Amino acid sequence: MRKTIGAFALLVVALAAAAPLEAQAQRGARGFGMSLDDQMTALTDRLALEEEQVVKVREILETQAESRRERLQGVRGSGDRNAMMQLMQELQQETETRLAEVLSDEQMEKYREYLAELQQRRRPPLSL
């Protein structure tokens, strides 16, 4: 009887953990962060993008994602965290430069606020 209850409890715990693990695996499959569709939905709402801007912003983000994948390939194997951080900063600056050509000053400010919020969510809270 005890073995049956123990096995049942283990099964319940495994099933309860399956959904969050599956969601985590799906996030991991597409990389750290949101999908392009999720980003576009958030940016369209947050920045009040016009239809023409939506097309251009999507194109910029797609191009930058491909560039990021290609350029990070060389740095990942080296294990040099500083080089990787430097490259990520360069890529972000390139993205912002390209977006500034499409977005208004107000939209760029909202975009930077959005990025800051995303970065805050990624950092674990400091414990005292």
Residue 27 to residues 18, 23, 79, 80, 86, Cα–Cα distance (Å):
14, 6, 23, 25, 24
Q: What share of the chain is helix, strand, coil (3-state, %, to 5)?
A: 80, 0, 20
Model pLDDT for residues 40-89, shown as the tens digit of each residue: 999 999 999 999 999 999 999 999 999 888 888 877 777 778 888 888 89
- Contact assessment for residue 62 and residue 71, using Cβ atoms and an 8 Å cutoff: no
pTM exceeds 0.75:
no
In the chain the first and final C-alpha atoms are separated, in Å, by 45
Model pLDDT for residues 99-123, shown as the tens digit of each residue: 999 999 999 999 999 989 888 887 6
